[in-house]
Chains A and B, each alone.
Chain A
Amino acid sequence: MTRQIKYLFLTFFLIIIQTQVFKLLSLEGITPDILTIWIVYIALKRGQLHATLWGFIIGLLFDLTTGNFIGLAALTKTIAGFTAGYFFGENKAPATLGSYRFVLIVLLVSLIHNSIYFIAFTRGSDIGLLKAIFQFGLATTFYTAALAFLPMFGFSRKYIS
């Protein structure tokens, strides 16, 4: 229970970071998605069921915070949590979190997440399907994967050394 509250507080903190701080890191309107990295971390530490549930909770809180498309982040982050959960292994979390595998998992999960998110988000606008996937989806994916190196180095120092 204590862990759940800790996760919840951390989620609120990361949402504030995502919405208030990361806009300073924006490149051509593209910002990294720290919440996806957080979901991948939960998946590798706690398993698929937890990651799916937390993906939904994190996404819903993000939707409620931004308030522009209620349900979309909840949907995509639920799927992201479920996908990331496939990489969970008993006693393998420290090794995975501290290696390049973590970045690769973030890359894959983020790709799926962003593809769905931006395809839905750009419907009804002038932005085409390919542009939604490649310009927004892929760019955000790579930016997020790049950001995932930071926690990876942190985990590497914590678990491997």
Chain B
Amino acid sequence: MQRLINIILLFKEYFVLTLLIIFSLILLGSNDNVQIREFRSYTVGFLGIFQDALSVIPNVFELKRENEILRQLNVNLSDEVNRLREARLENIRLRSMLGLKERGDIKLVTADIVGKSLHLLRNTVTLNAGENGGVRSDMPIISEKGLVGKLIATSARYSIGQLMLNKDFRASAKIQRSRIDGIIAWDSGEVLKLKNVSKTQDVREGDIVTTSEYSNLFPADIKIGFVSRISEKSGSLFKDIDVIPSVDFSSLEQVFIVITQIDSERVSLEKKTIRTRK
């Protein structure tokens, strides 16, 4: 410190000159006339040359700070990319659903799945649409990819849907190509079974299975899936047909409930006929 003071005292004239010049320049800088504006432009240009020349020398602290900013920016951009991806998928799904909604003349109610079980023998979903939206039990549930199931219980704002992957689920179905009828059911696993199809009937692997006109509940021609395997067991009159559902139940998030009116006249006639036969 003493050495520094000695140096300052030794060169005191130069220090005083420097200080006074700096102070004068500060005073000059406080002016706002034409001359000063021109000087400022010269100064900025002059300093810019130096800054440009010195910019090749890396500043460790500046690099660290810049690195932190870039990391933060990277995190923000990654988050944004994820959100955009999610939005893109949602957009694709909604467009597909919109296409389905515009396709038919059936009335649909949109519902989000707010609860789901896929590991039981009686798998169900909880939907956020209920009686307030005109939803009733036994109404079919579909998605843009095909049949999902049907409603089995409703409240004012919620409803319970029985998935096709449910031991109690049954639906009249047909092979789209050959118009062969059967009944769709589920035992376990990932595939459905098309039952009551005799060994003589024309069914091939890859055939598309849809709902049939014979159902009281489901509209006709809603896609169920496609035939993945056909086998014949000795001692049985029927084929053993596996059908892979067109709907991926694990990724299902939004569905449509088909607002249907059960044809009570038809139902009562069919019941009466069955009773008469008995």
By a beta-carbon cutoff of 8 Å, the part of chain A in contact with chain B is: 48-49, 52-53, 55-56, 59-60, 63, 69-72, 74-75, 78-79, 82, 85, 120-125
The answer to whether B31 and A71 have CB atoms under 8 Å apart is yes
Residues from chain B with Cβ under 8 Å of A82 in the complex: 13, 17
Is residue B265 within 8 Å, beta carbon to beta carbon, of the partner chain? no
Residue interface bits B19-52, CB-to-A below 8 A is 1, else 0: 0110111111111011101110000000000000
With contacts A49-B12, A70-B28, A72-B28 taken as known, whether A123 is within 8 angstroms of B20 at the C-beta atoms is no
Residues of A contacting B24 in the complex (Cβ-Cβ under 8 angstroms): 56, 59, 71-72, 74-75, 78
Contact in complex: A52, B20 (CB < 8 Å): yes
Find chain B residues with CB under 8 A from A49 CB: 12-13, 16
Please indicate the chain B residues that have their CB under 8 angstroms from the CB of A52 in the complex.
13, 16-17, 20
Chain A residues lying within 8 Å of B25, measured Cβ to Cβ, are: 71, 75
Q: With A and B bound together, what is the CA distance between A122 and B38 in angstroms?
A: 11
Question: Which B residues touch A72, using CB under 8 A?
Answer: 24, 28
B interface: dominant SS: helix
- Given the contacts A75-B24, A78-B17, A124 and B30 also touching, CB distance less than 8 Å: no
Closest 10 interchain pairs by CB?
A71-B27, A124-B34, A75-B24, A71-B28, A74-B24, A56-B20, A123-B35, A78-B20, A124-B38, A123-B38
Q: Do A48 and B13 touch (CB < 8 A)?
A: yes
Contacts of B13 in A (CB 8 A): 48-49, 52, 82, 85
Hey, which chain A residues are within 8 Å of B33, CB to CB?
Answer: 69, 124
Neighbouring A residues of B29 by C-beta, 8 Å? 71
- Using Cβ atoms and an 8 Å threshold, which residues of chain A touch B35? 69, 120-125
- How far apart are the CA atoms of A55 and B21 in the complex, in Å? 11
In the complex, which residue of chain B has the Cβ closest to the Cβ of A48?
B13
Question: With the chains together, A159 CA to B162 CA distance in Å?
Answer: 123
CB distance from B27 to the nearest CB of A (A): 3
Q: List 9 A-B contacts (CB under 8 A).
A: A49-B16, A52-B17, A53-B16, A63-B27, A69-B28, A69-B33, A82-B13, A123-B34, A124-B38
- B31→A79 contact, CB < 8 A: no
B251 → A minimal CB distance (Å): 72
Considering only CB atoms, which chain B residue lies closest to A68 in the complex?
B33
B21 close to A75 (CB less than 8 A)? yes
Taking the nearest CB of chain B, how far is it from the CB of A51, in angstroms? 9
Determine the chain A residues whose CB is within 8 A of the CB of B17 once the complex forms: 52, 78-79, 82
A55-B20, A69-B33 given. 5 additional CB < 8 A pairs?
A56-B20, A56-B24, A69-B31, A71-B31, A124-B38
Specify which chain A residues have a CB less than 8 angstroms from the CB of B16 in the assembled complex. Answer: 49, 52-53
A154 shortest CB reach to chain B, Å: 28
The distance from the CB of A61 to the nearest CB of chain B, in whole angstroms, is 12
Alpha-carbon distance between A49 and B27 when the two chains are bound, in angstroms? 21
Q: How far is the CB of A38 from chain B (nearest CB, A)?
A: 17
Could you tell me if A79 and B21 are in contact, using CB atoms closer than 8 angstroms?
Answer: yes
Contacts of B30 in A (CB 8 A): 70-71
A120 → chain B closest CB, angstroms: 6
A82 to B23, CA, bound (A): 15
Question: A123–B31 Cα gap in the complex (Å)?
Answer: 14
Per the bound structure, the CA–CA distance linking A63 and B30 in Å amounts to: 13
Min CB distance, A89 to chain B, in Å? 15
Q: Are B39 and A120 in contact (CB under 8 A)?
A: yes
Q: How far is the CA of A53 from the CA of B23 in the complex (A)?
A: 12
Tell me the B1-23 residues at the A interface (CB within 8 Å): 12-13, 16-17, 20-21, 23
Q: Which residues of B contact A121 (CB under 8 A)?
A: 35
CB-CB under 8 A from B38, the residues of chain A are: 123-124
Q: Is the CB of A53 within 8 A of B20?
A: yes
